Amino acid sequence: MKGVDLELVPLAAGAELLWTMARCLSPGERERARRLKFARDRRRFVVARASLRERLGARLGCPAAEVEIAIGAHGKPFVADARGLRFSLSHCDDLALIAFARGRDVGVDLEALRPVHEADAIAARLFPAAQYDAYAALGRDERIHALCSAWTRKEAYAKALGSGLPAALDTLLADGWNVESFSPRAGYVAAVAWRG
């Protein structure tokens, strides 16, 4: 993954640290956190966004609270004056994965390996026929890994494109794009997509 930096971030935080982290969020991010129903989800959101801001600030040479994250036309976040710095954030359970790249689009996705409701039906829509046949021949645990790996690759690519998953589901990788799957920690699968 030449030219792409990946950082794995644990999302556990005590109350005092959580309050400190929340202070660097934008008013919109704090409001979004407040709207989350469960305290666990609020904590994860605050820690993930604050961690992203801290890392962006370190790369841009400014305080985390001064990083201005905007949303593009298709919902892709970006930093307006980032001197070519691009990023992507994904979180699952108490773990986040952040990708950074300069001068190239990047997307990342993270999923826990666990049984998926209607996995075979999802795989039938996600995979071409020959690939689905190979998937169906796998054992249960191998099918979970295969489905989650394929899903994260497509999600990472869609995030890198900034087009959303539905547009990318039927899209083959364009020239100049790379997608790589990996396991950042036991029980998880992730993928990163980057141009160049």
Q: Does domain 110-195 have CATH number 3.90.470?
A: yes
Whether the CB-CB separation of 157 and 107 falls below 8 Å is answered with: yes
- Does CATH place domain 4-103 in 3.90.470.20? yes
- Give the C-alpha distances (Å, rounded to integers) separating 92 from 23, 40, 134: 23, 12, 27
pLDDT 10s digit of each residue in the chain, 196 long?
A: 788 999 999 998 777 888 889 999 999 999 999 999 999 999 999 999 999 999 999 999 999 999 999 888 778 899 977 788 999 999 999 999 999 999 999 999 999 999 888 999 988 988 888 889 999 999 988 999 999 998 899 899 999 988 765 544 445 666 789 999 999 999 999 999 999 7
155: left (phi over 0), alpha (psi -120 to 50) or beta: alpha
pLDDT tens sequence across 31-74: 999 999 999 999 999 999 999 999 999 999 999 999 999 888 77
What is the distance between the terminal CA atoms of the chain, rounded to a whole angstrom? 10
Q: How far is 169 from 155, CA to CA, in rounded Å?
A: 8
Q: Bridge-partner residues for 111, per DSSP?
A: 189
Q: Tokens 């249960």 label which residue?
A: 140
Domain residue spans of the chain: 4-103, 110-195
Alpha carbons within 13 A on the beta-carbon side of 60:
25
